[in-house]
Structure 1
Amino acid sequence: MITKDILKNKEYNFLNINKHLGKNVILLGLSGSYAYGTNNENSDIDIRGITLNRKSDLIGMTSFEQYVDDNTDTCIYGFNKMINLLLNCNPNTIELLGLNEENYLYLNDIGRELINNKKMFLSKRAVHSFYGYASSQLRRLQNALARDSYPKEEKEKHIFNSVKNALYDFSKRYENFEEGSLKVYIDNSEIYLDANLRHYPLRDYKNIWAEMNNIVRDYDKIGKRNKKKDDNHLNKHAMHLIRLFMMAIDILEKEEISTYRAKEKELLLDIRNGKFQKEDGNFNEDFYVLLNDFEERLSYAAKHTNLKEEPDIDRVEEFVMSVNERVVKDEI
């Protein structure tokens, strides 16, 4: 079991040394397999966290978004950036608000305040964000299993769906990006793009184009198969695919963020350990029946959820102003 004592190890000294961290950190928690309850002896320790923006970031000339330490697989988000990610129900960050209590390695009063108010971030945006991530995981599986044998028409459909999900995300992340400004569609088994952008920031366009380029590039990669290594990755992708559906359904049906999958732990570990994989590397029928069941459940939950279309922006804004005002007044 990973405990708070891990932060005393010298490789985590950056937490006390870096000027953006230290007393500004409000939350640190386990991420990845340890957070989901699906860890094994080979699992890495991933830590995610949140640190307050400093006074100079808020009313001065500095800025801060996140700190990454590759040596310890640690990523700590600036408070303001994290809020925007949470508003979009980003699966990789919203899960930080639903950890088991023992998986929080550090939590101060403001961190606790954030967790106690987590429901203000929940909305139907979760349908697109989680389904987008799940679709990406599924297409990774499909692409890896039959990359060389896919007909062009089938491959184009997969790329198209990935780009389409990305376009929805762009409309949320880029302030001046209006949905429909870029239209992607398939014509005669080829993907086409219509662009209608005027007076648009060049750097934002560069980022959008780079993300779409990465999607196409990833699908065009063809490499030799290392069966043992690839099977481990495939089973891990399959497990996370099902886990994403589980979390999304909880959010939509119960308005709860349940990161640790206690009830489904055995099933998820069975998937990770290859019990649904056939000798040839493909997945058996039981896995696809399971997948279809979760897709139908998510579709039903999306149609019948009591969540609103958008998160409680006014409540979130009040909370953010309250926290940042305390920073500016040196009350923290």
Structure 2
Amino acid sequence: MDFRELAKTEEYDFLRNDKRLGNRIILLGVTGSYGYGTNREGSDVDFRGITLELPSDLIGFTEFEQFEDRKTDTVIFGFNKIMKLLLGCNPNTIEILGIDEDEYVIKNEIGQSLLDRKEMFLTKRAAASFGHYADAQLRRLQNAIARDSMSQPDREGHIIKSVGHALDDYNRRSETMTGGVTKLYIDEAVTEGLEKEIFIDGELKHYPLRKYNEMMNTMMNVVKEYDKIGKRNNKKDDLHLNKHAMHLLRLFMMGIDILENKVIRTRRPDDELELLKAVRDGQFMKDSVLTEEFYKVVSKYEQMYAEAEKNSKLPDNPDMEAVEKYVLDINRRIINGEI
């Protein structure tokens, strides 16, 4: 498919006519199934990109984070917003920097300058945003499929692992951490309706109240997501679940690339695509349940990921001085009318 020609069609006129887009777009490329290489007949085309804010967004009263066109499944992030997301190695945005060259439909000199600096965003934060996120999603998937047979204590065991990962990532990113959680564990429940539940032992000293609230919200959001998926509609079809399972593996694969090789590779290589497509096509599902073989594959990737995380040479956090200098330079040029 010629994506550049597709972007020129009437359906995508908003790319040229919206005041926040047009020549303000610095990058626009193909993500989703076509970007990953998992597309098949009838797959939707997903465009993701980055656009520069207006001067009034930077020093005036207007605000802008992202543009969405749901009809074409196009999302274009504001420059400042995506920089913040990239700092956390957010999977849904970092992939924009790893698209195959011929699948960028728009790329100007500023877009190229961002691509030239993409290693600024490659840090061990990827461990949480890719590996731990995929791990949590997998356990939610298990919960969604097997909720009728999974005991409440087993379910709590799934939750505590994801909560722990989320908390580890929060602590890694928190620069004001002066005292922290010492232990998460499961014990006999005191909450009505539960057999077992997660408890927390900790000691906080001189800890900012607002940071404490953020920390608790981080953990509770994980619990809420599990509870929500535990009440899923039984009629949710296997095709959707297979697609979800495929993306869990893809996240592990992409995370390993980042941690081990310092590379953002959105399109997966042929050997990985063979496996991903097999999962997507239901070869690892029987009677609406993912097979034991699937979980063996996941276990293999979990081990590979853990090894990549352990041996990663990436820095713990981004070089904020370098990132800020770059952002200031771009925004100063916007305000001065140079771009």
Q: What band does the TM-score fall into relative to the shorter chain?
A: 0.7 to 0.9
What code does the residue aligned with 1:297 have? M
Partner of 1:277: 285
Structure 1 residues 101 and 181, CA, compared in 2 at 3 Å: closer, same or farther? Answer: same
Deviation, 1:51, is 0.8
Partner of 2:192: none
The match for 1:311 among 313, 318, 321 is 318
- Structure 2: distance between partners of 1:209 and 1:154: 18
What code does the residue aligned with 2:225 have? I
Structure 1 residues 143 and 324, CA, compared in 2 at 3 Å: closer, same or farther? Answer: same
Superimposed CA distance per residue, residues 138-164 of structure 1 (whole angstroms, 9 cap, x where no aligned partner)? 123201220111100111222333344
Structure 1 residues 251 and 208, CA, compared in 2 at 3 Å: closer, same or farther? Answer: closer
The match for 2:273 among 241, 248, 265 is 265
SS in 1 for 2:282: coil
What code does the residue aligned with 2:254 have? M
What code does the residue aligned with 1:149 have? S
- Aligned length in residues: 328
- Structure 1: distance between partners of 2:33 and 2:267: 9
- Structure 1: distance between partners of 2:313 and 2:220: 36
TM-score by length of 1: 0.87
Q: Does 1:234 align with 2:241?
A: yes
Partner of 1:190: 197
Superimposed CA distance per residue, residues 280-304 of structure 1 (whole angstroms, 9 cap, x where no aligned partner)? 2333333222211111111111111
Deviation, 1:55, is 1.3
Structure 1 residues 131 and 318, CA, compared in 2 at 3 Å: closer, same or farther? Answer: same
TM-score by length of 2: 0.86
The match for 1:215 among 225, 232, 235 is 225
SS in 1 for 2:154: helix
- Structure 2: distance between partners of 1:65 and 1:121: 19
Partner of 1:71: 71
**RMSD of equivalent CA atoms:** 2.9
CA contact (8 A) 2:127 2:255 kept: yes
CA contact (8 A) 1:236 1:271 kept: yes
Deviation, 1:245, is 1.1
Structure 1 residues 220 and 265, CA, compared in 2 at 3 Å: closer, same or farther? Answer: closer
Aligned pairs for 1:32-111 within 5 A: 32-111=32-111
CA contact (8 A) 2:125 2:169 kept: no
- Identity over aligned pairs, percent: 48
Aligned pairs for 1:142-161 within 5 A: 142-161=142-161
Gaps of 5+ in 1: none
The match for 1:243 among 234, 246, 250 is 250
Gaps of 5+ in 2: 189-195
- Structure 2: distance between partners of 1:135 and 1:82: 24
Superimposed CA distance per residue, residues 302-321 of structure 1 (whole angstroms, 9 cap, x where no aligned partner)? 11111111122222122111
